[in-house]
Amino acid sequence: MRALCWHGVNDLRVNDVPEPELVNPRDVVLRVRLTTACGSDLHFIDGYLPTMREGDVIGHEFMGEVAAVGRKVDDVEEGDRVVVPSFVGCGNCGYCRGDLWSLCDNTNPNPELQEPVLGDATAGIYGYTHAFGGYAGSHAEYVRVPHADVNCFHVPDELSDEQALFASDAWPTGYMGADFCDIRPGDTVAVWGCGGVGLMAQGSAALMGAERVVGIDRFPERLRMAREEAGSETIDYTEVDSVVDTLKRMTGGRGPDACIDAVGMEAHGTGLAHAYDRAKQTLRLHTDRGEALRQAIVACRKGGTLSILGVYGLMDKFPLGIVMNKGLTVRTAQQHGQAYVPRLLEHVAEGEMDPSYLATHELPLEDAVRGYDLFKHKEDGCVRPVFAP
């Protein structure tokens, strides 16, 4: 079959690879109908996340049709149309039973690659380094899905493939970030980043009752989407002297009740702090450019909530003293998709939110390298390229 493979830093190619097979009786093999790029893919493509190997199939956001079923799978049948969260859960450990699916104890077969750094291992994830399990990814004609009964969610007939696709990762990540904020009537929520996750966080915050949502970015087409699709107010950070001062002015000097970082380790910015981050990252003295996260910490009102969705590695100049002295509540996680997917599909079916506008470019898998180039460099208004194998 054909698949998009990693061959080195900034070296992706579409290759012939073996088709996946059932390995465990609780597996299914899915024929991928749609799969999309994620901003976190760029971290290993750019060389900031280690443990990729030449020939790895990448991609972790997908939906498709069940093509083969293991003998111990009860709730999924051949031909079913399903969407699959990006983190693999087992459904049996304490973390899965507690709806903390990305912390599953049993689905990362390479814990020794994470434990020396993290102290523990996370769940496995499709197509996202061997430290996260080494699973083959979804940018392929077929993908193996372990523990299918708890990881496959049936797509209602009235939903399109595009509407279901983003319930795999971008939307549950954004939804979880808004859920972390414990939003109350009258709250203002500021979201750094108007990419796929940031836009989903903004729409979800509004859905949960935020009175005002503010999206922060620098690309006009993304800021337009934030206004028109998510109903947000927006700040172009290249056109203001200070994002923090602007947010203070917008909130009567108090600051947002909750701040969501949907940017992560490759944040762009302005001024000396950004230049410092970029220089140290280039020299591999730390992995992260943390300008967006630092702004969120300073801008958030006293006693507010900081929700971190961006992926980070190792950063210095993290202002922990501000977090402590302002009494901020910090909540963060990789997405616990299985806890949210049924609710998200209901929101679409009831017409409350439709994430399909994220699919700005639909391409065949053979054009996936070009799709990633458009996505990485944010060319042609690309928010998410969607590949149809």
Domain count of the fold of the chain: 2
pLDDT in tens, 164-199: 999 999 999 999 999 999 999 999 999 999 999 999
Return the structure tokens found at 207. Answer: 């859905």
**pLDDT at residue 286 above 60?**
no
| CB atoms near residue 85 (< 10 Å) | 29
Residue 323: which of 268, 234, 383, 259 has the closest Cα? 259
Q: 195-205 in b/e burial notation, b at 16+ Cβ within 10 A?
A: bbbbbbbbbbb
Predicted TM-score of the model (pTM) = 0.93
26 and 116 assigned to the same domain: yes
Q: Give the domain CATH number at 40.
A: 3.90.180.10
CA atoms lying within 13 Å on the CB side of residue 253: 0
- Same domain, yes or no, for 159 and 226? no
Clarify whether residues 159 and 212 are in a common domain: no
pLDDT of residue 355: 98
CA 267 centroid distance within chain = 15
pLDDT tens figures, 112-153:
999 998 999 999 999 999 999 999 999 999 999 999 999 999
Same domain, residue pair 148 and 189: no
Domain interval for residue 345? 2-169+335-387
Strand (E) positions, 72-148? 81-84, 87-88, 124-125, 142-145
Give the pLDDT band (50/70/90) at residue 49: confident
Query: Is residue 223 pLDDT above 80, yes or no?
Result: yes
> What is the CATH classification number for the domain harbouring 286?
3.40.50.720
For residue 291, the model assigns a pLDDT of 84
Q: Are residues 149 and 255 in the same domain?
A: no
Q: What percent of the chain has pLDDT over 70?
A: 93
Write out 150-210 in H/E/C secondary structure: HHCEECCCCCCHHHHHCCCCHHHHHHHHHHHCCCCCCCEEEEECCCHHHHHHHHHHHHCCC
